[in-house]
Amino acid sequence: MTPTFFTRLVHMVFQVALLIGIWWACDVVVHLLHLPLSGGVLGLGVVLALLFSGVLRVDRVKLGAQLLLTEMILFFIPAVVAIVRYQDLLLQSGVKLMALIVIGNACVMFLTAFAVEAIVRRGGPGRGLPAAPQEQPA
C-alpha cells in the first residue's frame, strides 16, 4: 500500500523537525563547550554516527533530507543579498574571491571523492556501505 499524500507530508514534517532538533541540540553543545566548529558540522557528524551505528535508520530521515536538499537554494538567498550589498568589495577583490571559491570547491570535491573511494574499497561483508535493498516485482 502506498502512503497517502497526507501521510508523506506528516512524515516529512517530523523528519525535518528531527533534523532541526539534532542541529539545535548540537548548536547548544557547541556554544556551551566553546567548540571551534559550528553546530551544523557537529550535527552532521552525529547524524552520520547514528546512521552508521544503526540507531537511526535511513528511512526515518530520507523524506525530510530530500526536502531540505531540494529546497537548498532558499538557504542561499542571504548570500545573494550579501553580494548585492558588498558590490564594492567584489569589484576590488572579485578575481581573488572567485579563485578562492573555485579552489575551495575543488578541494571539497577531491576530498569527498577520496573518502567515498576509501569507504567503497573497504568492502566485504559488514564493512563499508550496505547494499541497497532489492525491490520485488509486483
In angstroms, what is the C-alpha Rg of the chain? 20
Alpha carbon separation from 70 to 3, 73, 74 (Å, rounded): 20, 8, 9
Q: How far apart are CA 74 and CA 100, in angstroms?
A: 23
Average pLDDT over residues 92-101: 87
Q: Which of 25, 119, 18 is nearest to 10 (CA)?
A: 18
What is the model's pTM? 0.56
State the pLDDT confidence band at 126, using cuts at 50, 70 and 90: low
* The C-alpha cell that represents 37 in the structure block: 566548529
Average pLDDT, the chain: 84
Answer yes or no: is pLDDT of 131 > 70.
no
State the pLDDT confidence band at 95, using cuts at 50, 70 and 90: confident
| pLDDT value for 32 | 96
Contact between residue 48 and residue 6 where contact means Cβ atoms under 8 Å apart: no
